[in-house]
């Protein structure tokens, strides 16, 4: 399907791997020009040909600097993909509420919520000018908060609510805002030997490989498999395209039907 993105301009955060990297690749394949932001510009990101910008979006002025660089590189901005999220592996995430420190709460909100808020604020004047779009990448943990670390799930719930509220405010200005909420995806968060998935497996006394094999069934995914980053990216890119002109304010779940509520 031709998504009419040829020559359009996009900024993708959290772009070094996983869903972010797949989104950068999908946008480039559709003919868009892309600035890709991450704390570290990985060889895989560099190989895409996108303009990589190293930035820490948990810093107060990081988002403003990033958007200004993107505007200068691209000459405008049609699409913002707020994909940055997750966080550094931390053993405290596998515990309960009382195991999560004040700093861990702050860090979780900085990377999973405030980074996107700051970037959206900086990008909005350019998106209004272009009558563009924002796609926020949240998580099904926002709907099923027991399924993830409490601080992460709560921050993602805030991000989902933010997208809904912002869509209502900026819709009359010509800017669409949507959310994509993946369930378990084959990314480093699940698969890395020092990531959250490995730590959760260890806390359950289960080998990491066995944990991953059983995760789709445990999560209630009727597809019997984890989603792939490229599958999530395809939805993100469609929502950012002119073909989705009437879709705004929605939270799109891609989870193999693990969320059983309507």
Residues noted as catalytic: 152
Helix (H/G/I), strand (E/B), else coil: 35 = strand
CA dihedral 16, 22, 28, 33 (to 10 degrees): -40
H-type alpha helices, 61-149: 62-74, 102-109, 115-130
Tell how far CA 51 is from the center of its chain.
19
CA distance 131 to 166: 14
Helix (H) or strand (E) holding 7: none
Residue 35: φ, ψ to 5° = -100, 125
């Amino acid at each position: 399907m031709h998504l009419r993105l040829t020559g359009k301009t996009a900024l993708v955060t959290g772009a070094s791997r996983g869903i972010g990297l797949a989104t950068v690749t999908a946008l480039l394949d559709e003919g868009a020009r892309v600035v890709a932001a991450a704390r570290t510009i990985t060889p895989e990101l560099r190989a895409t040909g996108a303009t990589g910008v190293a930035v820490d979006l948990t810093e107060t002025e990081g988002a403003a600097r990033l958007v200004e660089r993107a505007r200068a590189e691209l000459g405008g901005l049609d699409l913002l993909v707020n994909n940055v999220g997750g966080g550094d592996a931390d053993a405290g995430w596998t515990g309960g509420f009382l195991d999560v420190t004040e700093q861990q709460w702050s860090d979780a909100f900085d990377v999973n919520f405030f980074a996107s808020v700051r970037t959206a604020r900086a990008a909005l004047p350019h998106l209004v000018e272009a009558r563009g779009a924002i796609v926020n990448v949240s998580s099904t943990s926002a709907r099923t908060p027991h399924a993830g670390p409490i601080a992460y799930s709560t921050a993602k719930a805030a991000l989902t609510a933010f997208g809904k509220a912002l869509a209502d405010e900026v819709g009359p200005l010509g800017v669409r805002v949507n959310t994509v909420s993946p369930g378990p995806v084959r990314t480093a968060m699940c698969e890395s030997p020092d990531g959250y998935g490995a730590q959760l497996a260890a806390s359950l006394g289960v080998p990491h490989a066995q944990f991953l094999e059983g995760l789709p069934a445990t999560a209630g995914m009727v597809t019997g498999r984890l989603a792939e980053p490229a599958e999530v990216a395809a939805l993100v890119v469609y929502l950012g395209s002119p073909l989705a002109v009437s879709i705004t304010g929605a939270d799109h779940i891609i989870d193999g039907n693990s969320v059983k509520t309507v």
